[in-house]
Structure 1
Amino acid sequence: MKFYALFKRRHIARVAQPILRIMDSVSWLIHNTDKRKLIMRINLTVILLTASLLQVSAGGFAQKINLTQNNISLTQVFKEIRKQSGYDFVYATPQIKLARKVDIFARNASLADVLEKCFLNQPFTYEIQNKTIVIKERSGVIVAPDRKIQGTVLDKKNGSAIPGVVVLVKGTKVATQTDAQGKFTLNVPGGAETLIVRFLGFKTQEIALANFVSFTIRMEEDPQLLEQVVVSTGYQTIAKDRATGSFSQIKQEDMERKLTLNLVDKLEGMASGLLLTSNLPNSSGRPTKNSLLSIRGRSTISATQDPLIVVDGFAFESDLALLNPDDIATVDFLKDAAAASIWGVRASNGVVVIQTKKGKANQAQISFSTNFTIGGKPDLGYRPVASSADYLDFEAEGVNKLLIPDPKGKNLPAISSGADIFFRFKRGEISATERDALVQQLSGYDYKTQYSKYLLQKQQIQQYNLSASGGNESARYFVSGSYSKELPVSKGDQTERFTLNSNNDFQLSKRLAASAGLMLIMNNSKNNGLGLTPLQPGISTILPYDRIVGDDGKPVQYARAFNAAGLDVLEKQGYFPWRYNYLSALSDADNTVRYSQFRVNGSLQYKIIEGLSAQASGLYERSFQRSRNYYSPESYTTRNTINTATSILAGSNPAKLVYGLPLGGILDQGNIDMEQYNVRGQLVLNKKFGSDHRVDAVAGIEMRQVWTAGSTNRLYGYDDQTLSSLPVNYATQYSMAVTGNKTTPTLPNTLTDVRDRFLSWYTNANYTFKERYVISGSARLDDSNLFGASEEYRATPLWSLGGMWKLGQEDFLQLPFVDRLNLRVTYGVNGNVDKTTSPFLIATVSSSPDFYNG
């Protein structure tokens, strides 16, 4: 038996030296004092010696200990106490192994209190001898020796063995895992009382050891944990620990951390490899479906760059931002070929699989929530742009080096306020002193202050959600409705959305199950704001020194079509005012979009045998979009359009204007209708063969059609009160202002009618051996009318292979700091659809000459 004494000799010397000095004094007294006085002095010496020893002991116990630790071993506690108090510990090595770990919370606590907490419910106690604490067995306690136990872990539901289950002795690091037959053996330290049994997807159990040496443990599935480890491809669900592809999953509780109406905003930054690209396609600066999400970067140049969006198993052809985030249960991202190849030619940019909420048996619930959110304005200072002074220096150099053309010419090109100052000085129209004063004045302006005041506002969001769910083992339901209203950061913009969602599941018999779903979306928006559009190149681009309102409080007018001097001449000849100002552009806008969509899906599932089922499912989806943009006669768009089509009658004096387009307002209308149907049949196999083999597979056929029809129309001379317009002769040429070039009015009407048809065969299979080795394969053949007449280009096979080795479950890698370690390898071929190209030579006819070929 080995003993350890945690002390050093200096501790003995520290106590012994005072005692030796006292004994020295006693010896001197004996030889130099008479007996009566000697007895008195001896008594005094004994009293002083006793007080000294008591003082040493009391001083040790009076010392304060500060120690806060959870699940800490006694040896670690001993070291900390010795460091703070100077007390040493003596104990036997086998003895201390029986100690349970303790939780200590001591703040300015006495040594006695800390020791009582440490030795509570321990198989031994302690004794203090001077400055040494000796650990000894409790009287009447017999220390139990180590013993060997064995057992089997089974699935409570079907009685099958569960391999890979962790069996742990509570309070220690002694643990093992069950083998392929679900069996385990374990050496349990003496004094241990409880086993902890845990496995992913099952409820953790604590089992009393008592005097048993053999155990049969039945584990119960935990539905909540099972949901957490299952990912969906849209065609099937796969346990994440058996998926060889690259998946990421976001759950409802993760998305609830962000208060926003837009599902896309909620997804931003929630998964690795996911990038949100906000390309400001509309005035509010809100992202739309185009160039919205990117999964692991772009994989194509000319074809579509968007990932495929799948909702409840079927492709979603509308804007992702229209979905109600409160209806979403999970969002799975299929990143690589092994994960996404089952979707074929549409999966090259990744797949986003969205599952909406469903009802749960015997869990009736009614939920109502409302949110009101106020957000700040965008920080324009975050945008790295040149200061007004720097930009003026740039323009001065451009004028001096002839990089900016002189506006004195036939076409009277528009120039900035700064460039106009430098050209006027260059022509001698102003002196250097006047130039410097004007430049100094512009240098003091900063567009950001007025831009934020007049064009932006604080974002406001209000949302109301009501949902009900429940049911029993035979029928389950989930139904929800929501209304939301948003005032974006752009003044003049507004969005209102109403959604209705319903999911119903029915167990018609022991073998037959059915489901049905309905989704309704209505979205109305006003896009009258300028938002962040003036920060981009265009007719309304704002420069660093530009202002929206002048010192007199009136809107500042800017020359955009031609330079200011040219516009002065044209306006004197009778042209409509041809200058642009930001406040009028905001107040004159009248742009609305109304969108509605309904989506119905259903499925039947028949259980053929245990683990094998046949499924038939279908989807019908229809959407309607109506846009209306009205430009009043006072709006810049109308004035610019009519002025551009106006010329001066040759030889007239005074000048007589000839209008190429009718006077009045302009109305643009647009319609887009979409219809989609999808029919699918498949076989699904999820079965375990023996204790070592498991197969998860799906194979099926799918037919799909997407029809899109659209039209646009422009009316000139439109009166918004009488709803009337004036005709335009589109065959007659008119002369353009300033240049005099002849042109015909652009045809106002466009029509589109596109039908995309797909016929697809697909399969995906996973084989798992001993719950540690997984191989997978996936293949899909897409036949479509998009690729031309030749079958060589229509039917394109796509496939993937994958493998995974769960190294963390191997015996040679049972390390306490390794929770999970997998080696995964995948390879696959995905495709895309480029509707702009064809394998055949195509001739096109255009009214405009080709830039390269004439």
Structure 2
Amino acid sequence: MLFGLSVFSLFAQKTTITGKITDEAGIPIPGANIVLKGTKTGAVTDFDGLYSINASPADVLVVTYIGYLKKEITVGSQKNINIQLQNDISKLDEVVVVGYGTQKRTDVTGAVARANIEAFKEAPNANVVQSLQGAVPGLNIGQVTSAGSTPSISIRGQVSLNGNQDVLIVLDGIQYNGSLSSINPNDIESIDVLKDVSSTAVYGAQAANGVILITTKGGKRNQKAKITVSSSYTTLQPTVDLRPMKRDEYIDYLNMQLYDFEFLAPDYTTPNPDYEGYFGNNSGVNYNPNLASPDDPLSFNDNDYDWWEEGTQNSFIRENLISAAGSSEKISYLISLGLTEQEGIIKNDNFSRKSIRVNLDADATDWWKIGIQTFGSFTKQDGDEPSLNRLGISSPLLVPYDENGDLIPTPSGTVELNPFLGSNTQDYERHDYFFANLYSEIQLPIKGLSYRLNFGNNYRIDKTYGSSIYGAGETGDAGKNVSFYKDYTIDNILKYARVFGKHDISATLLYGAIERKGESTNAYASGFDRLSLGYNDLSLGTIQEVGSSAFTETLNYQMARANYKFDNRYILTGTIRRDGFSGFAANQKTAYFPSGALGWIVSNESFMENADWLNNFKLRASYGTSGNQTSRYSSLARVGTRAAYVFGDGGTTAFGQELNSLENSDLRWEITTGLNVGADFSLFTSRLRGSVDVYRNITDDLLFSVRIPYLTGFSNIQTNVGKIKNSGVEVSLTGDIVRSDNFTWTATANFSTNKNEILELTGVDEDGDGVEDDLIQSGLFIGKSINAIYGYENDGIMQIGEENVVGGIRPGEYKIVDQNGDGEITQADDRTFLGKGDPDFRASLLNTFKYKNFSLSLFFNAIQGGSDSYIARNDNALFRNANTLYQNKISGTDWWSPQNPDGLNALYLGGGLNPGRYENRSFVRLQDVNLRYSFDKSLLESLSIDELSVFVSGKNLATWTDWRGWDPETGSGMSTGGRPVLQALSLGINLTF
């Protein structure tokens, strides 16, 4: 008994335990909670992550902090306990932006996804959207092939035929109509994607194509001032090195086309003894003997000029960024400066961006908060590229310059111009962007009630000047275009949020307005005796032209949203928005967009108490409508100006005005109605977490230009007809495969499908068979995808000696399948559905490995289609004529000839039907790789440095595909005008002090 009492006394004795709480990188965590398990005794870490607590050896310390996994440690004999917390990725985005506010992730009932931009922050991307490629299921981002450009963006498929196809971009709560190339990616804090109609309904008439919410960085409260410097240099080169043919291959290619001269009929395998080659001294062996005359530019010479090499350049991205952030008790701030310079693979494809951002937030009083998010961005894109297609087709036997070093306008002696004429210009292109969002937020005397006023303003100046001594038929031309755009947004937002026992209630009321204005002025002149002053003195031109334009459009809107949660288990969300737009018809100025959503947190039910393996499981369903507005003048009768009258014989021409379009006073919004069912889950102490969504969207009242009888004086009228369906599945899974003190391995897999189908078109049954007619000329078919491919079916290449081929096909030409078996090939009866351009599914896999101070991430992205999906025409059939007998082609292109009967591409000796050849574009791409080393904190503290890391990153390092040509994702095949996707290697450094 005495021994037991002494042991009990020992373990009951309280001592002071001290230590430091840090994250995985060793950075102190202020505000972490340390509690003695089973008690209310606790402590909170200070600014440096330090804590002190009285505990006995038998006590267990429970350490928690938002965004990190809970950790428990028994005190024992330890007096100093330093604890490192691990990120809980499932809670890092606990609060997400949902439009006009934020919500806890657990309370979200719609399909809202947060992009993992942290994983790609060091990728060599000049445009922020490039970091989203493959990162969010349902969000489809295209490739970038020119410096500083913005890739294509779509969410959950195409919902319109002629209406607006653009995703709505909201920057810091304000609609942003500028180019995304103007935004410094380093300024971005988070990007949230609203995918289902219930989530997008808060933006009403402009949200049918989905919404991307971009939130910029700010200073963290109670954060000491920090200065961060980042610098990187990236080299770029094409993912595939396709080049036009050099001299020897080019001459063989010319002779190949003349196989019926080079070899004797009928099998064309016996050499013709009289054939002297393409440059055969007017011997009659040429398709056009005149091309071999001594005075012709194509006469034999010793040139082997590499047009492609001379028209391209070493490509790079150079980026330097600096920012300062911090806060006091009342004010937080972020100031950033950025300089990004990029040169593309084609000469004069240059992009430069200088940016400055200032974000401020201040607590004016305990109940009044004010702030501003503002930036200026100045982009420079001077210089004109040489003609990419002409670089590919120019003969290596020709040269661009004469003996005096002057450009030869038409080296071939034909209508084909020198590709460098387009780049030998004076070109000035600048775009200046200004953005500001000022807000004031007041906590009203009623508890839980607040009012916020947002005033957002966009302003843009575009200047495009140019001159060319070769323009206007080599008489010289020059011009200036200056345009201005500005808009303002005013949002009045009233919010209420309270918890009454088991009842959690919140509501948002919105009243807002937008006005947009634009104007442009352009001046042009041609016929210059001297162009030494370029575009700076257009009065020297013989012919002078001026023009100007302007527009104003306005929108107003009201929105109400209510959220109700009972007992942290059942969630209800309801939204209704009313929109008005000046661009719509007189009878259809406004529309209403309602939506509703339900959520059930199953894991919080009593019958799930013993399911320790299930951390969180929520079911949700939503249904609602959003809209898509037409262009501002579509409903109006528009007037055009043209040369209309001549007064008297030999009189001067007078210009008149006439109607170009009919008015439609009932033109209205496109309406997209959508149903979304989804689930969010977290399993095995959050080792596996993810979400699944299934959706179906139907867009009705499509904006479409319908043909009308020409006796009206018009051929078309813009109206509302047709219906489109989009349906699909989206899955996102994240798992901590290995979770240890020194090594972690986290993997995120995304998967999505989208099926697009036209349900209705014009409703017209012209042939009287009781079935609505397809719009064949427009490529639109009931029951098929918008991207359905309709045409002749290719049945391979006809060989010499092959007989009884339908359609008068000759050897070397593509055979066409006789669909109706009538022995003839006709357009009406023998075309069929060949497939569609849509993929079957998209998938991606992000692997992140961390070992001590090293971090490695590998991101694979894939788009896949079957035998009849995600296909595109990749045909390089050659039609022999005077043009092809001097035009160059891509080296390695495989054509049929009697000596190459298995050639892939047809060779036509004259005209004929070309059904084309389609290939599958499926691919798997190693899209992003990043290796980072972070220096030890112990070393950095002695240097007064908070963080220091160096990194190496790569982009588009490998692509696995059966597609032939430039790139499957862009759909560029072996064409001479194809533009390469670029492979990048980057080296950089990040420093914070």
Fold equivalence (TM over 0.5): yes
Rounded Cα–Cα distance in structure 1 between residues aligned with 2:584 and 2:568? 43
The residue aligned with 1:473 is 329
Structure 1 residues 520, 545: CA separation in 2 closer, same or farther (over 3 Å shift)? Answer: same
Unaligned 5+ runs, structure 2: 1-5, 9-34, 39-56, 77-84, 263-277, 645-657, 661-706, 716-993
Rounded Cα–Cα distance in structure 2 between residues aligned with 1:422 and 1:629? 48
* Alignment partner of 1:680 is 2:503: no
State the one-letter code of the partner of 1:362.
Answer: N
Q: How does 1:220-369 map to 2 (within 5 A)?
A: 228-250=93-115, 253-278=118-143, 284=146, 286-288=148-150, 292-369=152-229
- Preserved contact between residue 521 and residue 596 of structure 1 (Cα < 8 Å): yes
The residue aligned with 1:799 is 594
Paired residue secondary structure (1:364): coil
Determine which structure has more spread, i.e. the larger CA radius of gyration: 1
Structure 1 residues 515, 258: CA separation in 2 closer, same or farther (over 3 Å shift)? Answer: same
CA RMSD of aligned residues (A): 4.8
- Any idea what the Cα deviations from partners look like across 1:601-657, whole Å, max 9, x if unmatched? 2111111233221111212222211111221x2x3xx1xx326xxxxxxxxxxxxxx
Paired residue secondary structure (1:504): strand
Rounded Cα–Cα distance in structure 1 between residues aligned with 2:369 and 2:205? 31
Rounded Cα–Cα distance in structure 2 between residues aligned with 1:296 and 1:729? 53
The Cα of 1:681 is off from its aligned counterpart by: 0.8
Rounded Cα–Cα distance in structure 1 between residues aligned with 2:331 and 2:484? 35
The residue aligned with 1:642 is 473
- Preserved contact between residue 515 and residue 555 of structure 2 (Cα < 8 Å): yes
State the one-letter code of the partner of 1:824.
Answer: R
Structure 1 residues 559, 624: CA separation in 2 closer, same or farther (over 3 Å shift)? Answer: closer
The structure whose residues are more often strand, as a share, is 2
The residue aligned with 1:79 is none
The residue aligned with 1:54 is none
The residue aligned with 1:764 is 561
Rounded Cα–Cα distance in structure 2 between residues aligned with 1:553 and 1:710? 43
Rounded Cα–Cα distance in structure 1 between residues aligned with 2:258 and 2:108? 63
The residue aligned with 1:216 is none
Rounded Cα–Cα distance in structure 1 between residues aligned with 2:170 and 2:36? 42
The residue aligned with 1:778 is 575
Unaligned 5+ runs, structure 1: 1-139, 143-166, 171-190, 211-219, 401-416, 568-577, 644-662, 731-746
The residue aligned with 1:52 is none
Which of 606, 625, 629 matches 1:833? Answer: 629
* Alignment partner of 1:755 is 2:552: yes
Identical residues among aligned pairs (%): 21
Structure 1 residues 546, 298: CA separation in 2 closer, same or farther (over 3 Å shift)? Answer: farther
The residue aligned with 2:392 is 542
State the one-letter code of the partner of 1:591.
Answer: D
- Preserved contact between residue 594 and residue 626 of structure 1 (Cα < 8 Å): yes
- Preserved contact between residue 142 and residue 153 of structure 2 (Cα < 8 Å): yes
State the one-letter code of the partner of 2:365.
Answer: S
- Any idea what the Cα deviations from partners look like across 1:718-762, whole Å, max 9, x if unmatched? 4443444457787xxxxxxxxxxxxxxxx8433221111011101
The residue aligned with 1:425 is 286
Structure 1 residues 552, 833: CA separation in 2 closer, same or farther (over 3 Å shift)? Answer: same
Rounded Cα–Cα distance in structure 2 between residues aligned with 1:511 and 1:203? 33
The residue aligned with 1:206 is 72
- Preserved contact between residue 328 and residue 357 of structure 1 (Cα < 8 Å): yes
- Preserved contact between residue 716 and residue 726 of structure 1 (Cα < 8 Å): no
The Cα of 1:837 is off from its aligned counterpart by: 6.3
The residue aligned with 1:607 is 443
State the one-letter code of the partner of 2:620.
Answer: R
- Preserved contact between residue 368 and residue 464 of structure 1 (Cα < 8 Å): no
The residue aligned with 2:532 is 721
- Preserved contact between residue 594 and residue 627 of structure 1 (Cα < 8 Å): yes
The Cα of 1:486 is off from its aligned counterpart by: 2.1
- Any idea what the Cα deviations from partners look like across 1:488-541, whole Å, max 9, x if unmatched? 2222233222211111111122211111232111122223233xx625xxxx37
The residue aligned with 2:417 is 580
Q: How many residues align?
A: 565
- Preserved contact between residue 147 and residue 343 of structure 2 (Cα < 8 Å): no
The residue aligned with 1:102 is none
The Cα of 1:347 is off from its aligned counterpart by: 0.9
Rounded Cα–Cα distance in structure 2 between residues aligned with 1:422 and 1:682? 85
State the one-letter code of the partner of 1:542.
Answer: G
* Alignment partner of 1:621 is 2:440: no
Rounded Cα–Cα distance in structure 2 between residues aligned with 1:430 and 1:524? 44
- Preserved contact between residue 328 and residue 355 of structure 1 (Cα < 8 Å): yes
Structure 1 residues 473, 729: CA separation in 2 closer, same or farther (over 3 Å shift)? Answer: same
Rounded Cα–Cα distance in structure 2 between residues aligned with 1:625 and 1:617? 26
Rounded Cα–Cα distance in structure 2 between residues aligned with 1:544 and 1:804? 63
Moved more, 253-262 or 708-717: 253-262
Rounded Cα–Cα distance in structure 1 between residues aligned with 2:442 and 2:348? 54
Paired residue secondary structure (2:347): coil
State the one-letter code of the partner of 2:286.
Answer: F
State the one-letter code of the partner of 2:100.
Answer: Y
* Alignment partner of 1:598 is 2:448: no
- Preserved contact between residue 399 and residue 422 of structure 1 (Cα < 8 Å): no
- Any idea what the Cα deviations from partners look like across 1:462-510, whole Å, max 9, x if unmatched? 2222222222221111111222222222222332222111111111222
Rounded Cα–Cα distance in structure 2 between residues aligned with 1:315 and 1:423? 68
Structure 1 residues 724, 382: CA separation in 2 closer, same or farther (over 3 Å shift)? Answer: closer
Rounded Cα–Cα distance in structure 2 between residues aligned with 1:549 and 1:694? 77
The Cα of 1:350 is off from its aligned counterpart by: 1.0
The residue aligned with 2:480 is 669
Paired residue secondary structure (2:392): coil
- Preserved contact between residue 483 and residue 499 of structure 1 (Cα < 8 Å): yes
Rounded Cα–Cα distance in structure 2 between residues aligned with 1:705 and 1:353? 20
The residue aligned with 2:701 is none
Paired residue secondary structure (2:382): strand
- Any idea what the Cα deviations from partners look like across 1:556-589, whole Å, max 9, x if unmatched? 99997xx966x5xxxxxxxxxx652334543x13
The residue aligned with 1:496 is 352
The residue aligned with 2:971 is none
The Cα of 1:678 is off from its aligned counterpart by: 1.2
Rounded Cα–Cα distance in structure 2 between residues aligned with 1:398 and 1:276? 48
Structure 1 residues 255, 752: CA separation in 2 closer, same or farther (over 3 Å shift)? Answer: farther
Paired residue secondary structure (1:253): helix
State the one-letter code of the partner of 1:688.
Answer: V
Rounded Cα–Cα distance in structure 2 between residues aligned with 1:580 and 1:839? 42
Structure 1 residues 192, 383: CA separation in 2 closer, same or farther (over 3 Å shift)? Answer: farther
- Any idea what the Cα deviations from partners look like across 1:42-83, whole Å, max 9, x if unmatched? xxxxxxxxxxxxxxxxxxxxxxxxxxxxxxxxxxxxxxxxxx
Rounded Cα–Cα distance in structure 1 between residues aligned with 2:565 and 2:285? 81
- Preserved contact between residue 95 and residue 102 of structure 2 (Cα < 8 Å): yes
Paired residue secondary structure (1:425): coil
Which of 333, 338, 341 matches 1:482? Answer: 338
Paired residue secondary structure (1:831): strand
Structure 1 residues 553, 169: CA separation in 2 closer, same or farther (over 3 Å shift)? Answer: farther
Structure 1 residues 553, 478: CA separation in 2 closer, same or farther (over 3 Å shift)? Answer: same
- Any idea what the Cα deviations from partners look like across 1:348-367, whole Å, max 9, x if unmatched? 11111111111122212332
The residue aligned with 2:522 is 712
Rounded Cα–Cα distance in structure 2 between residues aligned with 1:263 and 1:545? 40
Rounded Cα–Cα distance in structure 1 between residues aligned with 2:560 and 2:353? 39
Rounded Cα–Cα distance in structure 2 between residues aligned with 1:394 and 1:817? 70
Rounded Cα–Cα distance in structure 1 between residues aligned with 2:506 and 2:260? 68
Structure 1 residues 262, 427: CA separation in 2 closer, same or farther (over 3 Å shift)? Answer: closer
The Cα of 1:223 is off from its aligned counterpart by: 13
Structure 1 residues 620, 583: CA separation in 2 closer, same or farther (over 3 Å shift)? Answer: closer
